[in-house]
Structure 1
Amino acid sequence: MTTVLFVHGTGVREPGYGESLERVREGLRPLRPDVAVTPCYWGGRAGSALRSGGLSVPGYGSARDVPGAEPDGTDGDVELWGLLYLDPLFELRLLAPESGPRPELAPGAVPPGEALSAAALALGGDDRLRELLDAAGIGAEFAGAVAAVLTSPDGRRFLRSPAAADGAEELARAFTAEAVRRRTGSEGAPPALDGAARDAAVDRARALLPGGDAGAGTHRGPVTRRIGRLAGRLALGLASAQAVKRRSALTDAAHPAAGDVLLYLARGEALRETVAEAVRAAEPPVVLLAHSLGGIASLDLLATRDLPQVELLVTVGSQAPFLYELGALPGLEHGVPLPARVPRWINVYDRRDLLGYVGAGVFPGRVEDVALDGRQPFPLAHSAYFGNPELYRLLAAELP
């Protein structure tokens, strides 16, 4: 039986790794039930930690946070979602400024905002929308997101404004972006959210709202012309004073990922040995499915040790080719060809994943680069591979 060893990336710890492992199993099970997906968890044993309790970080623990384009336009759409994930209400604010005329209604007519609000609260009763939200990974968060948007000052102002008459699309995006914001801020593994599934959920929600059956994209123009100005204000909102104030929380959030990389580049043997032990314990033929830093370590291991059990290496969102080009890949100096012991290698990347690199140029004839599109902005693009059905179709066809 073929064994797929899932080697995780930087910053991953339990219980997040177990959730990611199960996601991979669920993705492959319908396509290749003959394959065993087994763990290769190195974060607990070979991952980084603040071993002196953060003594090296100035003021650590004293100021903790209180929880509180392409021709088809896809690049612009993804950038729009990047802004919405930061601020789900920004389109509603742009469409409904602080002051403006109230719409005049015919006697007995229901204000557009009231009809929108009532329809929005009923969205949870649509079976098809629930299916699409679950497929997008935000089903559990959507009802709370709707309530939060409708009751926010910006949401209430929008519903009272003339923009509410044709604002179904923007409102549907606000609900969805708020749900994603809640999902990405929750405990557990980084969400593998697929952009196409998200878009399908938005389209369904829009169609269920009054005035939303005119078609997607009809009201986006006036908003996107002002995105540049808003982006500047968002950048100012992330000023260094806030970063200093929140340094403890930022350190806690960032050090596992950055620390794992630094520790591996300085002393990577423990990680490589963890992978080697998992290979030796697995039933051959073995496939290494390795994400991010796990791909670096797996390539290093195969370049420096004879592991004939491994018949295929699949790196996903990996920096191994980039490190090799920099001369920083521990197991192989730049200019030295990939040893013959390295098995067939497939390298999966997303052009929006700023941590995913291609290898065919630096390892000619030894690696096959495969592009996938998760339709997510960075950094969600770095984990979206494992929510993309295309990855599992690729694996099903290529696994021994």
Structure 2
Amino acid sequence: MLHSNGISVPGYGTGRGIPGAGAPDTRADTLDEDVELWGLLYLDPLLELRLLTEGPTTRAELAPGARPSGEALSSAALSLPGGAGLRGLLDAAGIGEEFPAAVAAVLTAPDGRRFLRAPTAGAGTSVLARAFVAESVRRRTDREGPAPALDGTARDAAVARIVDLLPGDPSGPEETGTHRGPVTRRVKRVAGRLALGLASAQAVKRRSALTDASHPAAGDVLLYLARGAAIREAVAQAVRTAEPPVVVLAHSLGGIASLDLLVLRPLPQVALLVTVGSQAPFLYELGALPSLEHGSPLPAHVPRWLNVYDRRDLLSYVGAGVFPGRVQDIALDSRQPFPFSHSAYWSNPELYRLLAGELP
């Protein structure tokens, strides 16, 4: 039961989750569409290529000696991994190692080959660039280990650089960054009709990958609620061994455990608590926070608290409403769909700028 009508949920009841949302925000709507399309591409990197080439295609007449645009695109794409300045952008986006294999996979896939044979291939460099990057992300997230921290702004910069390196008319119908070119508008009209079915089918196909990406946070919270004392003690031990003033920086479950610890036990050496993508305010509103019943205020000994959240991170919540005057909520935007948004904080330069201004 949400005791405070969902006040801990960003945008609860508004359908948007943007602080101060009131009048329609066209720019925000465009960005939402952009993030939603990336969410589909992460599930199916070849989606745009396939939709662009659906139905019968007519081969364009070539001038004598001219190469088909798809052939030139393919040759240029194979040399992309060595492109000037591209590797640094790919590394910043977290996909540098996966990119060469991703390019080869897209170009040799049936949908990729069909796209390269189409007469519109030369006008679809942005579509091809997004396919390369989305396939790289798919390969990165399929690796064993913790979910990667992938920043959407770095991803978009890599896409823009790939488009620059591919042959095509720079004043043609595609625009990089947001998906607003005429070619992509056609894709989005079709994608809008297919989105629910595609997302459902691809989610079933990739259920293991999606589960690996999102279950640790939810599963760890349930484990903590059952056996939290040992986790709190581990945090307390780390605080005791640190030189004061101590800043506790905690992500997801760590934010729950750290807040619980600071409620239950005065630790005067802690000067600041920073929670990132945490569910602590939500658990408090549910009446499920172990250290504090709903309706009870934070004890005076709890230090200053900054709570960082992303409205696209469905595992992050806001605390100013349930703890008035005791927590400052700070919104960041990773430009990533969930579940990538839950780990994207750590690749977002805005988080480090925030911390640089707060750390003693």
TM-score range, shorter chain: 0.7 to 0.9
Asked whether the equivalents of residues 169 and 212 of structure 1 are also in contact (C-alpha less than 8 Å), the reply is: no
Determine if contact 1:374/1:381 at 8 Å carries over to the other structure. Answer: yes
Alignment match, 2:186: 222
How do residues 1-400 of structure 1 correspond to structure 2 at under 5 angstroms?
70-72=25-27, 73-97=30-54, 99-211=56-168, 213-214=170-171, 215-216=175-176, 217-218=180-181, 219-237=183-201, 256-400=216-360
List alignment gaps of at least 5 residues for structure 2: 1-23
Alignment length, in residue pairs?
328
Shift of 1:233: 2.8
- Give the whole-Å Cα distance in 2 for the aligned partners of 1:250 and 1:170: 24
Closer, same or farther in 2 for the Cα pair 1:128/1:315, shift >3 Å? Answer: same
C-alpha separation between the residues in 2 aligned to 1:205 and 1:239? 28
State the alpha-carbon separation in 2 of the partners of residues 158 and 185 from structure 1.
Answer: 26
C-alpha distance after superposition, 1:206-243 (max 9, x if no partner): 12112152242423211111112221332442587x79
- Kindly indicate whether structure 1 or structure 2 has the higher relative contact order, using CA contacts under 8 Å at least 6 residues apart: 1
The alpha carbon displacement at 1:264 in A equals 1.2
In structure 1, how many angstroms separate the alpha carbons of the residues matched to 2:126 and 2:214? 35
In 2 relative to 1, CA 183–212 (structure 1 residues): closer, same or farther, beyond 3 Å? farther
Is contact 2:247–2:272 with CA below 8 Å preserved after alignment? yes
Q: Name the aligned partner's letter for residue 71 of structure 1.
A: T
Query: Which deviates more, 136-145 or 118-127?
Result: 118-127
In structure 2, relative to structure 1, the CA distance for the partners of 1:251 and 1:378 (3 Å cut) is closer
Once the two structures are TM-superposed, the CA of residue 256 in structure 1 deviates from its matched residue by 4.6
Q: Structure 1 residues 212 and 295 mapped into 2: Cα distance closer, same or farther (>3 Å)?
A: farther
**1:342-392 deviations in whole A, cap 9, x for unaligned?**
000000011111111111111011001111111111111010001011111
C-alpha separation in 2, matches of 1:111 and 1:250: 39
Distance 2:50 2:64 in 1: 28
Once residues 94 and 228 of structure 1 are traced to their aligned partners in structure 2, the CA distance between those partners, rounded to angstroms, is 11
Q: Matched residues in 1 for 2:45 and 2:210: separation? A: 22
Tell me the distance in 2 between the aligned counterparts of 1:222 and 1:93.
Answer: 12
Structure 1 residue 167 displacement after superposition:
0.9
Contact 1:206 1:212 in 2 (8 A): no
* d(CA) in 1 for partners of 2:81, 2:260: 49
Letter in structure 2 aligned against 1:204: R
Q: Which residue type is aligned with residue 238 of structure 2?
A: A
Segments of 5+ residues of structure 1 without an aligned counterpart are 1-68
Distance 2:152 2:70 in 1: 28
Question: How many angstroms apart in 2 are the aligned matches of 1:256 and 1:358?
Answer: 21
Two-structure CA RMSD over aligned residues (Å): 2.1
SS at match of 1:382: helix
**Percent identity between the two aligned chains:** 72
Partner Cα distance (1:259, 1:232) in 2: 27
| TM-score w.r.t. length of structure 1 | 0.78
Label 1:250 to 1:119 Cα distance change in 2 as closer, same or farther (>3 A): closer
TM superposition score normalised by structure 2: 0.86
CA drift of 1:252 comes to 7.5
Cα distance in structure 1, aligned partners of 2:213 and 2:99: 25
